[in-house]
Amino acid sequence: MDERDGYLIDVRQVVKRFTTAAGTFTALKGVNLRVNPSEFVGVVGKSGSGKSTLINMITGIDRPTAGEVLVGGTPVHTLTEGQLALWRGATMGIIFQFFQLLPTLTLLENVMLPMDFAHRYAARERPGRALHLLDLVGVAAHAHKLPSAVSGGEQQRAAIARALANDPPILVADEPTGNLDSKTAQAIFSLFEDLVHSGKTILMVTHDPDLARRVERTIKLSDGEIIEESLGAAFPALSEEQLIEATRAVAPLVYPPGEVIIQEGRPFELFYLITHGEVDVLVRRESGEDTVAARMGRGQYFGEISLLRGGPPIATVRAGAEGVEVIALDRPTIAALLAASPSTREAMTTVAAARAAENVAARRTDGT
């Protein structure tokens, strides 16, 4: 893992251009993406938005025109083709929409193939491990059948077993349920959830809105740019264009446990939205002691009271016991968004009023 930030996947300002007979097409436009270990992340967007191109950057199937891709601390964009093949075999399990099982090999042999290539397990261990993985995904009874002899859902389960062959920390699935009926798709998704609970990190491209709603986090691509999910969830009234503009302006920040982010009485210039972890909101009671007035977590924001009302902050905000990750917008950017969306401003004003009242109440020593 990259010791600098602790992210398992870190995509930094990635640009990808393709040159065709019709000219140059920019598929990714300065994309940033960070994924923590054991996250289940959905990647959504319209056809042509850049989803598959992004996945190809992360898996090393293609290279960025500009920017960096770090996976587990490895700068994937700098590896040679030979290095990429070995790295991918140990790090990535890739699951395709059309299964991509070799038709002349049995399911068992298909699952053994990555082990044969990467030499991760002794030859005598590989059949047993392959059978164990087929059992894990529920198709051990078909181990010695050719792919053509089993259903599409069973083929996809075997493809998942193959992706797990070398015990990679990351699974990347490109429309893994696109060719399956709804019942089978739900079963495959449940299997993914079990894998995440066991410690795997999964990136799943999907067009299925029901599945997208069930993942822990959704990355939405629009015309080669990522729309920050937290912004979309916090401000649902903003248009897609407004969200793209806001995403371009965000600054990701990380605060260690206990670090003060906003100090009561001291002016500040940023608006914060929590993407991971928690913060404590502290106010000073009339008795002179500090007390926690509120605890906020992922998807919540802070700094809005001073933004809307002016003046110095009326509370201190510090990172929680596990630290916190936020995205920050400067005052001019968030003010412009609120000016462009009166309904968003109204919603934030309501939140600010309620929080200000909570802070006032928490200051009273007797709690009345």
* pLDDT tens digit sequence for 317-362: 999 999 999 999 998 898 888 888 899 889 889 998 998 888 888 8
**Is there a domain that residue 30 lies in?**
no
The reply to whether 210 and 281 lie within a common domain is: no
Query: What is the distance in angstroms between the CA of the first residue and the CA of the last residue of the chain?
Result: 50
Distances (CA, A) of 142 to 195, 261, 291: 21, 56, 61
The reply to whether 190 and 322 lie within a common domain is: no
Q: Whole-angstrom Cα distance, residue 144 to residue 162?
A: 14
| Rounded mean pLDDT, 159-179 | 88
Q: Whole-angstrom Cα distance, residue 332 to residue 82?
A: 48
Contact 34, 5 (CB under 8 A): yes
Non-local CB neighbours of 238 within 8 Å, separated by 6+ positions: 231, 232, 246, 337, 341, 344
The reply to whether 274 and 321 lie within a common domain is: yes
**Is there a domain that residue 41 lies in?**
yes
Distances (CA, A) of 327 to 77, 231, 287, 290: 26, 9, 34, 26
**Is there a domain that residue 5 lies in?**
no
The reply to whether 55 and 161 lie within a common domain is: yes
Provide the residue type at 267 as one letter: P
- Give the count of domains, the chain: 2
CATH number at residue 143: 3.40.50.300
Q: Is the pLDDT of residue 89 over 90?
A: no
The reply to whether 281 and 349 lie within a common domain is: yes
pLDDT interval class at 149 (50, 70, 90) = very high
The reply to whether 288 and 170 lie within a common domain is: no
Q: How many residues does the chain have?
A: 368
125: which DSSP letter?
G
Ordered alpha helix ranges (H), 198-277: 209-214, 229-234, 240-249
| C-alpha 64: how far from chain center | 19
Q: What is the average pLDDT score of the chain?
A: 88
**Is there a domain that residue 15 lies in?**
no
**Is there a domain that residue 233 lies in?**
no
Most confident of the following: 2-11, 58-67, 90-99, 183-192: 58-67
Q: Range of 91's domain?
A: 37-65+77-227
The three-class DSSP label of residue 168 is coil
282-310 per-position pLDDT tens digit: 988 877 788 888 899 988 999 998 888 88
CATH number at residue 293: 2.60.120.10
The three-class DSSP label of residue 345 is helix
Q: Is the pLDDT of residue 183 over 90?
A: no
Whole-structure pTM value: 0.75
Looking at the DSSP bridge assignments, the partners of residue 220 are 44, 227
Q: Which of 197, 227, 257 is the last residue of a domain?
A: 227
Q: Is the pLDDT of residue 1 over 50?
A: no
Q: Where are the beta strands (DSSP E) in 182-315?
A: 201-205, 217-222, 225-227, 251-255, 260-262, 270-284, 290-296, 301-302
| Rounded mean pLDDT, 88-106 | 88
Position 365 scores a pLDDT of: 57
Query: What percent of the chain is predicted at pLDDT more than 90?
Result: 47
Contact 270, 331 (CB under 8 A): yes
The reply to whether 109 and 180 lie within a common domain is: yes
| C-alpha 364: how far from chain center | 41
The two structure tokens encoding residue 227: 């729309």
From 71-85, 99-113, 122-136, 215-229, the region with the lowest mean pLDDT: 215-229
Report the DSSP pairing between strands 92-95 and 170-174.
parallel
